[in-house]
Amino acid sequence: MDFWDDLSPLTKASSAFFVLGKATGFMTFIMYFVDLVLAKWMLMLYASFIGISILLSCIQMFRTKKADTKPSLEQVQAWAREYNLLEGK
């Protein structure tokens, strides 16, 4: 189960909300035949779970994108000096 342990907390929460949404979607379909008013509430719950899942996924995506920024020129020059790639500087 290393795959699950490697995921970020936001990704885990997003997955949980997605599974809850899908389960609620199945129950919503059944409720259409039982009680229409309850089916409307279930549909709102379904949409909320899936919407939260999408929102958490987007937040995680933007956090990951910010973490992958390019290093500054000074950092690159310091690394080059450290590995003797720049001569005379």
Q: Does 1 fall in a domain?
A: no
What the block records as the tokens of 33 is: 């035949």
Q: Residue 46, Cβ neighbours under 10 Å: how many?
A: 21
Q: Does 89 fall in a domain?
A: no
- Structurally, how many domains does the chain consist of? 1
pLDDT for 1 equals: 61
Which has the higher per-residue pLDDT, 21 or 71? Answer: 21
Q: Does 29 fall in a domain?
A: yes
Average pLDDT, the chain: 87
Q: Give CA–CA dist 58/64, Å, rounded.
A: 10
The per-residue pLDDT for range 65-88, each reduced to its tens digit, is 776 677 788 888 888 888 877 665
Q: Give CA–CA dist 28/50, Å, rounded.
A: 13
Q: Does 73 fall in a domain?
A: yes
The per-residue pLDDT for range 23-70, each reduced to its tens digit, is 999 999 999 999 999 999 999 999 999 999 999 999 998 888 776 677
Q: Give CA–CA dist 27/45, Å, rounded.
A: 11
- Under DSSP, the state recorded for 88 is -
Range(s) of the domain holding residue 12: 8-82
